[in-house]
Amino acid sequence: MEGENITVVPEFILLGLTQSRDVQLLVFVLVLIFYLIILPGNFLIILTITSDPGLTTPLYFFLGNLAFLDASYSFIVAPRMLVDFLSEKKVISFRSCITQLFFLHFLGGGEGLLLVVMALDRYIAICRPLHYSTVMNPRTCQALLLALWLGGFIHSMTQVALILRLPFCGPNQLDNFFCDVPQVIKLACTDTFVVELLMIFNNGLLILLCFLGLLVSYAVILCHVLRSSSEGKKKALSTCTTHVIIILLMFGPAIFIYTRPFRTLPADKVVSFFHTVIFPLMNPVIYTLRNQEVKASMRRLLSRHVVC
């Protein structure tokens, strides 16, 4: 029947990151080492922030939630990719594919919105310090956190709903190492021009507007900091610089993937690999290396528990 969902493909075959067995083994070893060494950094950040009474400001509240999102995000693609590297046939069921796609954009969208909230927090703290404790009170922080989770859910559910309306009757080879919107849509056996436009609007335009808005907001903050002569100038510059680095690392690959027509480019898999596997593991390193308070608190935590 016309317009009816006639999905009959029970599973997709993932073509993987590369067809070279030697390259697969090399990437497997590198990712596994990287994963096992750096992933605990996110949990250490969460433990440090929750156990230190001195890290109770909204900045560290949001930083702890960012670490939680990164830790959760890193479990969506990397573990299955490591298993697939050792498998001859890389198969994922249709339901698992949609589930992976949902959580990828649910957590990714929530993290993007969290970076916007963190930019708002820094703007009020630096440019409106007298109003900071009044505006960024615990109730406001919790409301903002709830809003970004809800925003990520709506963002992801919109894409899943559009994909589930498409008919998939073959082929079933997915040219990637995980399920994502551009590759899945291309397998639909119908004209997907309108759906692609809606996806680009939902993904690409939202990402681009957030990215430009964040750059403008941090430019305003940095100009304000440079004009001031306060004692916290160095700390404010370090914090804002760290946030800008995270923004560039997150939004750069996302803009490349989602703000253009869904056509395959040679760099797609490399950019996707960086965006889904490497980036979530980099946040704890960047934050702990550039934040003296977090590093000092971690040292105290480790000296109390590990030494004892």
Query: Which backbone phi and psi does 11 adopt, to 5 degrees?
Result: -155, 160
Contact call for residues 233 and 251 (beta carbons, < 8 A) = no
User: Residues 138-188: pLDDT tens digits?
Assistant: 999 999 999 999 999 999 999 999 999 999 987 889 989 999 999 999 999
User: Residues 9-56: pLDDT tens digits?
Assistant: 889 999 888 888 888 888 888 888 878 877 788 888 888 888 888 888
User: Per DSSP, what are the bridge partners of residue 91?
Assistant: 13
Q: How far apart are CA 156 and CA 203, in angstroms?
A: 9
User: Residues 205-243: pLDDT tens digits?
Assistant: 889 888 998 999 999 988 888 887 666 677 778 778 888
pTM above 0.75, yes or no: yes
Which residue reads 């109770």 in tokens? 56
- The structural domains of the chain, with segments of one domain joined by +, span 17-305
- The CATH label, of 1.20.1070.10, 3.30.9.10, 3.20.20.220, 1.20.58.760, for the domain at 17-305 is 1.20.1070.10
Contact call for residues 68 and 111 (beta carbons, < 8 A) = no
Helix (H) or strand (E) holding 188: none
